[in-house]
Amino acid sequence: MYGIRAFAFAAGLSVCALTSIAAAQVYPSRPIRLVVGFAAGGSIDFIARLLADKLREPLRQPVLVENRTGANGALGASL
């Protein structure tokens, strides 16, 4: 009976150890894509670029705005 409890306890400790290792990794590790479903130069694109500029500093990663036009924004939403 104690063997099963000891095994469960050891399994729980190993899960805790793995989560601490995962938390130590840098996120995000590559540039972030902000997909906009409308054409460049519009008001939605302008707001997305302002948002990208504000996100760049706290995330310490480049934020790229990618315009996917067509189908009334459905192409951008499908990514």
Q: Where are the domains of the chain?
A: 2-77
Q: Which two tokens stand for residue 33?
A: 């894509």
**Three-state DSSP class for 67?**
strand
CATH fold of 2-77, please? D-Maltodextrin-Binding Protein; domain 2 (3.40.190)
pLDDT of residue 30: 84
Look at residue 26 and tell me whether its pLDDT is greater than 60.
Answer: yes
For 32-73, how does the pLDDT look when each residue is reduced to its tens digit (9 = 90+)? 998 998 889 999 899 999 999 999 998 888 999 999 887 776
Look at residue 22 and tell me whether its pLDDT is greater than 60.
Answer: no
